[in-house]
Amino acid sequence: MLALMFISLLIVVLGSLKGYPDSVANDNGTVDPLLYWTYVMIGIAVVCAVLVSVFIMAANNPKSLVKLGIGLVVVAVICGIAYALAPGSQPLAYNGEPVTNGTLKLTDTVLNLTWFAGAAAILSIIVGEIASKVRKN
């Protein structure tokens, strides 16, 4: 933890000494290392949070690991379905730099996952309201 804080402080100090650019066109190489280090720190935090929670869950209730495994398989299947349904076709009326087919397929997959999540949220609201009305009667 101390090493991570030291590296973070070093990147901020070096960037401040060199000076951050006023615009993207004047980039002097100080922003990218800061952004990449931010990605690394977020990744470390997510991995630590997941590993610690799985360890605590396994220590308290080992059978809950089976439920976790089933949940991960369901998420993987949903992601696979979203990927299979993603067309990955070129966008209409796009005049910018060419985009690879893999990038197009990935963005379409994320859009499909967004649609799935939205539909699941709406469906859960409807089912929840119906279930609460049925329980009251």
Q: What string of pLDDT tens digits covers the 137 residues of the chain? A: 788 888 888 888 887 787 777 776 677 777 777 788 889 989 998 998 889 988 998 899 988 889 889 999 999 999 999 999 999 888 888 888 888 999 999 999 999 999 999 999 999 999 999 999 999 87
DSSP 5-59: HHHHHHHHHHHHHH---SSGGG--SSHHHHHHHHHHHHHHHHHHHHHHHHHHHHH
Q: 99 in helix, strand or coil?
A: coil
What are the boundaries of each domain within the chain? 1-60, 62-137
- pTM value > 0.85: no
